[in-house]
Amino acid sequence: MTDISVDVHLSPNHQAQALRADVLDGLLATPKTLPPKWFYDARGSELFERITALPEYYPTRVERSVLAARAGEIASLTQARSLVELGSGSSEKTRLLLSALIGLSQFVPVDVSETALRESAAAIAADYPGLSVHGVVGDFTEHLDLVPGVRPRLFAFLGGTIGNLVPTERAKFLSSVRSVLFEGEWLVLGTDLVKDPSVLVRAYDDSAGVTAEFNKNVLLVLNRELSADFDVSSFSHVARWDADAEWIEMRLRAERAMRVNLAALSLDISFAAGEEMRTEVSAKFRRGGVSRELAEAGFELVRWFTDPDELFAVSLARAAG
């Protein structure tokens, strides 16, 4: 029988408090911003699953193909006993690593959603009998030092999620991962690559309008959770390539001047006609930049895996001495 345990390091009201803090900081900033993590309520997660199947949105399927081709090599090089997945979600692609890691004794999914984590842990346990599943309900920017694992450990941060962090945040995150790893332990990292801007923009502004609906869903989250009165129909979806920063920005543009009340925060916010609020950055990478950022955090890039069209890369890095 598979052993399942779950550690909870977040208070019951953690998400509510974090949302209030993020919204206050973001809406009072100039320009206005919202963190992308608030896209993912139940409806947002469903919409994102639809996005991953769209013809324009290549990252999910290409990363999966790279992992499918290279999971055996990753397993052979790391000889990992524990696989730790940060921001685990459904752990769908991670199953490619779980199946390849012959000597694996423990899987440690880390996620802020206790419900999603328990569901995922149960599914993994059912499909991998004999594997110990030790879930951690926590924020991977705060609770890495509380993550268990049998050495040597392989940490996985997939999906190109690191691109949602700006450079200073990426440096802090990679350094925090390195700080909890012993020398010789491992990190596997998924990064979307710089390419033709038209390909990138289409991936974030699909013809079916699913990404637009996904983007606007964050306003519905604020309406529900903070008793706000955003008129969602008065905002339009914008996806723009920033060639200097080498990232896609998703924004919501106010199509008319309006005043929005967020009753739970006792806050009124004005939007000018045409004003844009940034809801996501999605950085795109080059091999040299990934290698440099890993090295600055104390990692050595050991393998660089990509698809034939060099759309997406999976890096395998070792904690250096």
**Is the pLDDT assigned to residue 288 strictly greater than 80?**
yes
pLDDT tens-digit profile of 131-184? 999 999 998 888 899 999 899 999 999 999 999 999 999 999 999 999 999 999
Q: What is the mean pLDDT of the chain?
A: 95
What pLDDT sits at residue 2? 62
Average pLDDT in the 290-296 region? 98
**Is the pLDDT assigned to residue 237 strictly greater than 80?**
yes
The encoded tokens of residue 219 equal: 């306003």
**Is the pLDDT assigned to residue 282 strictly greater than 90?**
yes
What pLDDT sits at residue 140? 84
**Is the pLDDT assigned to residue 12 strictly greater than 70?**
yes
**Is the pLDDT assigned to residue 260 strictly greater than 90?**
yes
What pLDDT sits at residue 165? 96
What pLDDT sits at residue 179? 96
Average pLDDT in the 258-268 region? 98
Average pLDDT in the 285-302 region? 98
What pLDDT sits at residue 141? 81
**Is the pLDDT assigned to residue 1 strictly greater than 60?**
no
CB 305 within 8 A of CB 313: yes
**Is the pLDDT assigned to residue 90 strictly greater than 80?**
no
State the sign of the Cα–Cα–Cα–Cα dihedral 251, 37, 26, 296. negative
**Is the pLDDT assigned to residue 285 strictly greater than 90?**
yes
Q: Sorting pLDDT into bands at 50, 70 and 90, what band is 214?
A: very high
What pLDDT sits at residue 116? 86
Average pLDDT in the 264-292 region? 98
